[in-house]
Structure 1
Amino acid sequence: MTTVDDRVRPELGPGGLFIAGRWRERAERRDVIDPSTGDVVTTVAEATADDVNDAVAAARAAFDDGPWARTPGRERARVLHRVADLIRSRADELVATESVDVGKPVTLCRAVDVETIAEQYEYYSALAQSLDGATRQIPIPSHAYTAREPLGVVGAITPFNFPLILSSSKIAPALATGNAIVHKPAEDTPLSALLMAEILTEAGVPAGVINVVTGSGAVAGDALLRHPGVDKIAFTGSTKVGRYAAQVAGESLKPITLELGGNAAHIIFEDADLDKAIGATIKAFVFNSGQFCMAGPRLLVAEPLYDTVLGILAQAVPGVPVGDPFDESTVVGPMAGERHLAKAQEYIALARAEGARVVAGGERLDSPGFYLQPTVLAGLPADSRVIQEEIFGPVLTVQSFRDEEEAIALANSTPYGLAAGLQTENVARAHGVAARLHAGIVWVNDWAMLDPAIPFGGVKQSGHGREYGPEALDAYTRTKSVVISLA
């Protein structure tokens, strides 16, 4: 590790492709940008379709002929537990790499991203030991039972905003169930995927079981989607690209899980604890610079509290520490890249054109890097694109509602359904409203309460399938029935 301008930064060498347990170099390279400075920090290999073919072939051979799929669950569990141990022992390296790659504050990287993936591998190491089927009683003279088997080769395609968490949420259950994997990380943030390939191999994952191909979605991602040797796709990304991925997978009837965009509503009822509600509101829209598919960018406030809440936000939001992700006091770092910042700025400009009141923020910081002030907007019509579409930045819109029915209608009014939340001291209301919100996960009196044991996923245009929990194992196994005649 080196110290640069009082910031601890990783020593980043050029990244290669990881195929069949070996590193492969490529003359074609892609720059990796530090979002906090805009500087190039390293380069990674740009995979071709031929590289993807080789990675799939390595995974195919590892699954068909190698030991992993036939390794007892208890042995796979030991390997996954070693992965968790290595993640914690190399936490400083993972934190620094993720921070310089994505722009995440180091404090959040350590407490959230790195600890979460260690817990993911621990959780699925436990589940790897409990995969079993069931005997079935049927009237014909036979012994009948079911068995759960791995699918084969999994193509994992992951986004830029949570590289560690959203890749491990696929890789850990896929490994626990005996599959082989080809991972295509986001082209903007590939570094931690390469580091995790090292860690998985060191822990004892056999050669070919984990392969990483860096490069563009248009070339490497598309080749992985279309490859006939891939048995299942696990995709997290935008709804637009998810539709394309589903279409391509459908051409070969390949199973696919899709964790897509979100535009969650966060409802503050009149009986809410306002201190808790404001804290959760700010966390819900500034966490990871708003680059969070389960962020809470739409705040719905009961009319009697509306002006009070706007006044509190106007005072509190400008005080949220924005700055260098390697400064441990930073809460909000830069956005992950120039195009992500530009998209958020376009929505703020559209809101201004539609007559929105800018309650807080609204400007790019006058400093190197891709920083945007946390922004609060009020006075927009319910059908505004700024409210209906996913901004994916630290931008909060605030609307009022008259009663519970209107709150639920507004919350469900967008095409998305990944997450939702509400603030109330009324337990009956909490259960009743949660049941009527169109979302895969609902939080009450806080935000982003996540754990590997709690499944999440979308409805409507937020996708289908579930990650986390024992439910995730269904996406990486198939059930086989065996009936043995006793006649």
Structure 2
Amino acid sequence: MTDTLVTEYFHSWNVPAERAALVSRQVAHWIDGAPVVSGMPIAVSEPSTGGRLTETLEAGVEVVDRAVASARQAFEGSWGALRPLDREALILKLADSLEAHQDELAFLESVDVGKPLSQAFAIDIGGAVDCVRYFAGWATKISGRTGDMAAYDKHFLGLTLRQPVGVVAAIAPWNFPLQTLIWKIGAAFAAGCTVVAKPSEVTPVSTLRLAELITQAGFPNGAFNVVNGTGAVTGAALVSHPGVNKVSFTGSTPSGLRVGTAALQNMTRLTLELGGKSPALVFADSNVDAVVEGLYNGIYFNAGQVCDATSRAIVDVRIYDEVRERLIERATSVHVLPGLDPDSGMGPMVSGAHRAKVMSYIEQARADGLPFALDRSQLHDRGHFVGPVIVEDIPSAHPLWREEIFGPVLALSRADGPGDVVCQARDTRYGLGAAIYSRDIGRVLAAARAIDAGTIYVNGYGFLDPAFPFGGLGMSGFGKDMGAEQMEAYLETKTLLVSGIELGLAG
């Protein structure tokens, strides 16, 4: 299904035929441990060339019903019958399999999303392996509690039981297709839940390979199922399905609002990790080396296609000029190239449609006469590339300051002292992430308390860890991925209140 542009791209980087075949095959659904071919085809493009990579299929209501039924059967049968130690062993086996196929999986992510191969290997797949191993340990650490009641005497006892919620709908975005899905299924498997996954129709390739590896690792059929398609058709059928007990969604805020509305019709539990317009607070006492590298990574990593990208940098005027000039130099030197090119430091936008969206913000800023400190937006004749952009002195009401662009566009702002840094940072309805740069720990803690953000990086950016939760506040959603906190979302708590009279102990 791969067209000439993509075939030539693969040939230019000596991609082995068996690896090319993995990415160019039709992306089927995966139900009850086997591929399912059903639904209208959806073309999938390769971002670096703009050519046709492969195609996936649109799952309708009947296919979604089959997937949910398979997950329910496994939850109540083979998967649900496993001991916690057995679940832990299978999850660890999956981590070993992901690690053994790390080169292959990184290739799939690079050509499907467009990101540099080295970043896909180290961050996307390496991070996924770490996350799976972390959650494997939770399978044997789930417990309730026992205690004396507060309002009754010693003849009464209180107990809690912790049980998996059931079938989880895991809906992943296109910017980190495998890693974000792993965040969801690692905790779900550890808790004892089964999963129906829906990847983005833009980047479905790695999810099919993940399904194969899960089955090969020995997971019972039905423990992990995949339905492909658009949010409007497949996603809507999945989140509104009465057989789904939990929805974990990562995506834009408008999409999250629709998902939440649909899920609540069945009182389905929700985790929504949505968009952001995250600030970087740069105080005058900051280490400028750390600031420049942190700001660069905060907006240009994954070509700015990151939900918690620090897309607003608010810099104390006393160090503004130095930070500005060094950041321009850093962003000018990056090689914006196809993902398979070893020299690539930044890849393209994921699709032509998304490139057009990002460019519309840039063109609006030009039309409004905003000052560009750097404009490398036009770089290549083919593919979906947008290079680094820095825009200064943006009015607080302008879309460039207020809206999530999801591309390599930094809004750079001067601040008149520490108070103004914090004030400008707070000027947003989002609350996903933030970064604080300062040598003064007291100032860092005060700023962290003052801003509404679910994840706050200090003197750097992007060093997420599976042991600590990630998730937003405000219009960035609610609930957490990763950490002990994520396990709570996949578990039910039942309370048992025991009377001593019933036990024959009274008197």
Q: TM-score range by the shorter chain?
A: over 0.9
Q: Which residue of 2 aligns with 1:460?
A: 474
Partner of 1:319: 333
Aligned to 1:224: 238
Residue 39 of structure 2 is aligned to residue 32 of structure 1: no
Deviations 1:104-151 (A, max 9, x none): 110000100001111111000011110011112123524431111000
| Greater Cα offset, 112-121 or 304-313 | 304-313
Contact 2:28–2:35, Cα closer than 8 Å, also in 1 = yes
1:115 paired residue among 96, 107, 126: 126
SS at match of 2:475: helix
User: Which one-letter code corresponds to 2:421 in the other structure?
Assistant: A
Counterpart of 1:10, as a letter, is A
- Equivalent residue, structure 2, for 1:132: 143
Measured in 2, the distance between the counterparts of 1:416 and 1:108 equals 27
Within the alignment, does 1:423 sit opposite 2:437 as a pair? yes
* Aligned counterparts of 2:104 and 2:124: Cα–Cα separation in 1: 13
Runs of 4+ in 1 over 6 A off after TM superposition: none
Cα 1:104/1:7, change in 2 over 3 Å: farther
Q: Which amino acid aligns with 2:125?
A: V
Give the alignment of 1:186-225 within 5 angstroms: 186-225=200-239
Which runs of structure 2 are paired with 1:229-248 in the superposition (5 Å)? 229-248=243-262
Aligned to 1:90: 101
Question: Amino acid of the residue matched to residue 34 of structure 1?
Answer: E
- Percent identity, aligned pairs only, is 36
Does the 8 A contact of 1:348 with 1:362 survive in 2? no
| Number of the residue aligned with 2:12 | 5
Any gaps of 5 or more consecutive residues in structure 1? none
DSSP 3-state at the match of 1:68 = coil
Shift of the alpha carbon at 1:70?
3.2
- 1:448 counterpart = 2:470: no
- Answer yes or no: is 1:158 the counterpart of 2:172: yes
Q: Kindly report the root-mean-square deviation, in angstroms, between the aligned alpha carbons of the 2 structures.
A: 1.4
State the Cα deviation string for residues 23-59 of structure 1 (Å, max 9, x = none): 1112621111110111112112221111001111111
Classify the secondary structure of the residue corresponding to 1:96: helix
Task: Tell me how far apart the structure 2 counterparts of residues 15 and 316 of structure 1 sit (CA, whole Å).
Answer: 39
Q: Deviations over 1:56-110 (max 9, x none)?
A: 111111112x132232211101000001000010111101111111001100001
Whether the aligned pair in 2 keeps the contact of 1:439 and 1:458 (CA below 8 Å) is: yes
Partners of 2:469 and 2:480 within 8 A in 1 = yes
Say if 1:102 and 1:7 are closer, same or farther in 2 by CA, change over 3 A. farther
Q: Which residue of 1 aligns with 2:75?
A: 63
- Helix, strand or coil: the match of 1:321? coil
SS at match of 2:272: strand
Contact 1:268 1:300 in 2 (8 A): yes
What's 2:306 paired with?
292
For residue 416 of structure 2, what is the amino acid of its counterpart? R
Residue of structure 2 in register with 1:102 after alignment:
113
What's the counterpart of residue 397 of structure 2? 383
TM-aligned CA deviation for residue 423 of structure 1: 0.9
CA drift of 1:160 comes to 0.6
Q: 2:54 aligns with which of 42, 59, 75?
A: 42
In 1, the alpha carbon distance for the partners of 2:435 and 2:74 equals 43
**Alignment match, 1:307:** 321
Structure 1 letter corresponding to 2:248:
A
Q: Secondary structure at the match of 2:466?
A: coil
Unaligned runs of 5+ in 2: 1-6, 502-507
Name the stretch that deviates more: 312-321 or 234-243: 312-321
Report deviation, 1:7.
4.5
Which letter maps to 1:52?
V
TM-score (norm 2): 0.93
User: Which SS does the other structure have where 1:52 is aligned?
Assistant: helix
**1:437 deviation in Å?**
1.3
Instruction: For 1:397 and 1:208, locate their aligned partners in 2 and report how far apart those are by CA, in whole Å.
Output: 46
What's 2:361 paired with? 347
Residue 178 (structure 1) aligns with: 192
| Superposed displacement of residue 6, structure 1 | 2.0
Cα deviations by residue, 1:317-370 (Å, 9 ceiling, x for unpaired)? 111111011112211001100111111111111111222111112422223210
Deviates more, 1:123-132 or 1:308-317: 308-317
* Residue identity matched to 2:246: K
Query: SS at the partner of 2:372?
Result: strand
Q: Deviations over 1:364-399 (max 9, x none)?
A: 222321001111111211221111000000110100
Asked whether the 8 Å contact 1:354–1:380 carries over to 2, the reply is no
Amino acid paired to 1:455: P
Deviation for aligned residue 1:314: 2.6
2:77 is aligned with 1:73: no
SS in 2 for 1:78: helix
Change in 2 beyond 3 A, CA 1:350/1:23: same
How many aligned residue pairs are there?
A: 485
Which amino acid in structure 2 is aligned with residue 365 of structure 1? L
Q: Aligned partners of 1:388 and 1:28: how far apart in 2?
A: 37
* Cα distance in 1, alignment partners of residues 498 and 278 from structure 2: 50
What is the CA deviation profile of residues 221-272 of structure 1, one whole-angstrom value per residue up to 9, with x for unaligned ones?
0000111111111111100011111111122211111000011101111111
- Counterpart CA distance in 2 for 1:47 and 1:62 is 21
Deviations 1:258-316 (A, max 9, x none): 00001110111111111111011101100001000011111101012222222222322
Between the aligned partners of 1:181 and 1:366, the Cα distance in structure 2 is 41
2:283 counterpart of 1:273: no
Q: Deviations over 1:418-461 (max 9, x none)?
A: 00011111111111111211100111110011010110110010
Counterparts in 2 of 1:143 and 1:314: CA distance versus 1, 3 Å:
closer
Q: 1:406 matched to which residue of 2?
A: 420
Distance across 2 between alignment mates of 1:429 and 1:316: 27
Q: Give me the whole-angstrom Cα distance separating, in 1, the residues matched to 2:208 and 2:467.
A: 26
